[in-house]
Amino acid sequence: MFSPSPKWKRTFTWSILLAIVILCIIEQLLLPTTILITLAICCMYNVYIEFMTIAIFIAPGKPKKSIDSKEWKSHFSTFESLSTHIQSYQQEHAAPLIVFIHGWRSSSASVQGRAEWFVAKGWHVVICELPGHGKSSGIPRWNALTAAKHMQYHVKRLDEIIEPAHVSQVFYYGHSMGGYICTRLACDPDNTPYGRPLSGLILESPLMLYSKILDEIRQRLKIPPLLHTSHLRRVFRDVRAMHPSITSQSLEQFDIPLWGVPSVPTLCLQAMTDLRLGREHYDATVEAMSSSGHLTHHLIESMGHSGAKTNVERESHIQGWLETFDSILLT
């Protein structure tokens, strides 16, 4: 017997009811036509709203290829029946470790150039591929909360990849969506690799205002403003079903500062001309973090939002920032 997947069940149910009502109108059955038309409008409204609720949890699409190199080892770690692909480059000596999380619709290969800059400095490097990206398993309804939950699980178990005795310090590096996830990870001191304090965080053109992304998706779906409130109510219904700890229906909880403000030294490098996210996310980050005294930030004219496997200006800023740390390996 046919059974729709959970995410389609409500849409399917309302569609069946709509079909029944339309059949009754055609055959002039059961109820007066005016009542049936009213029921048909109600069903059409709910079919539309449920469909738009499904559409808001946009999937990343066809995965991009991961790093294909013998120098990079692949590891697969399972959490909640889903496999996450993690690639590592391990030095033969004790060294700092930097954990990369790439951006939306990217993969480990997207940050390979950035990662290999650290490899050349003598660092261990780990790249975690987000759910549905690279070789990682997809999730039924993609959302940043679920992605962060998976990343939290895996970074806490990096001692299965690189032995604790070989790691002197731990840093995170997040690009775009990866910056959003890394910010969340950096605000969870009880869930760090090797159970030791995080030394620092690097954010490159980070996404920090998830509400703006939701607005962008709604505009792309052409959801009428009149329906935004009812649509958002159903989006939160589904979010709460996946994450019961979410009790508020405010979008601000998914934006910095409520999303999290790291209490570790943070370097934010922003593309001067960011054709994907613009300047809003960067400006919000600077406003939220400047008073903490932990933030160093730069606008880089020679860098775009994505691409830029190497960038002299970006690497110079990273070098200068790392030199402020004691005992950091910068060969």
Q: What pLDDT sits at residue 308? A: 76
Does residue 99 sit within a domain? yes
Whether residue 144 is found in the same domain as residue 197 = yes
Q: What pLDDT sits at residue 7? A: 63
pTM, 2 dp: 0.90
Does residue 190 sit within a domain? yes
Whether residue 93 is found in the same domain as residue 135 = yes
Spans in the chain with pLDDT lower than 70 = 1-8, 14, 27, 29-31, 327, 329-331
Whether residue 132 is found in the same domain as residue 173 = yes
Distance of CA 242 to the CA centre of its chain: 16
Q: What pLDDT sits at residue 2? A: 44
Q: What pLDDT sits at residue 1? A: 46
Whether residue 32 is found in the same domain as residue 106 = no
What's the token pair of residue 104? 């939306």
Q: Does residue 292 contact residue 263 with C-beta atoms inside 8 Å? A: yes
For tokens 């999290």, name the residue.
Answer: 260
Whether residue 123 is found in the same domain as residue 204 = yes
Does residue 309 sit within a domain? yes
Please classify residue 24 by burial: count the beta carbons closer than 10 Å to its beta carbon, then call 0-12 exposed, 13-18 middle and 19+ buried. Answer: middle
Does residue 215 sit within a domain? no
Domain count, the chain: 2
Structural domain span for residue 40: 6-56
Whether residue 52 is found in the same domain as residue 80 = no
What's the token pair of residue 266? 């943070």
Whether residue 129 is found in the same domain as residue 32 = no
Element (H, E) at 285: helix 280-289
Whether residue 262 is found in the same domain as residue 173 = yes
Q: Does residue 166 contact residue 83 with C-beta atoms inside 8 Å? A: no
Whether residue 26 is found in the same domain as residue 124 = no
Q: What pLDDT sits at residue 252? A: 94
Does residue 92 sit within a domain? yes
Whether residue 34 is found in the same domain as residue 181 = no
Q: What pLDDT sits at residue 248? A: 87
Q: Which residues contact 51 (CB under 8 A, 6 or more apart)?
A: 11
Task: Quote the crossing angle between the two packed helices 210-221 and 33-56, to the nearest 10°.
Answer: 130
Task: For 253, list phi and psi in degrees, rounded to 5.
Answer: -65, -15
Q: Which residues in 265-296 are b (16+ Cβ under 10 Å) and which e? A: bbbbbbbeebeebeeebbebbbebbeeeebbb
Does residue 139 sit within a domain? yes
Does residue 131 sit within a domain? yes
Per-residue pLDDT of 217-272, as tens digits, reads: 999 999 999 999 999 999 999 999 999 999 888 999 999 999 999 999 999 999 99
Whether residue 148 is found in the same domain as residue 28 = no
Does residue 186 sit within a domain? yes
CATH number at residue 130: 3.40.50.1820
Closest CA to 114 of 68, 172, 75: 172
Whether residue 23 is found in the same domain as residue 111 = no
Q: Does residue 86 contact residue 76 with C-beta atoms inside 8 Å? A: yes
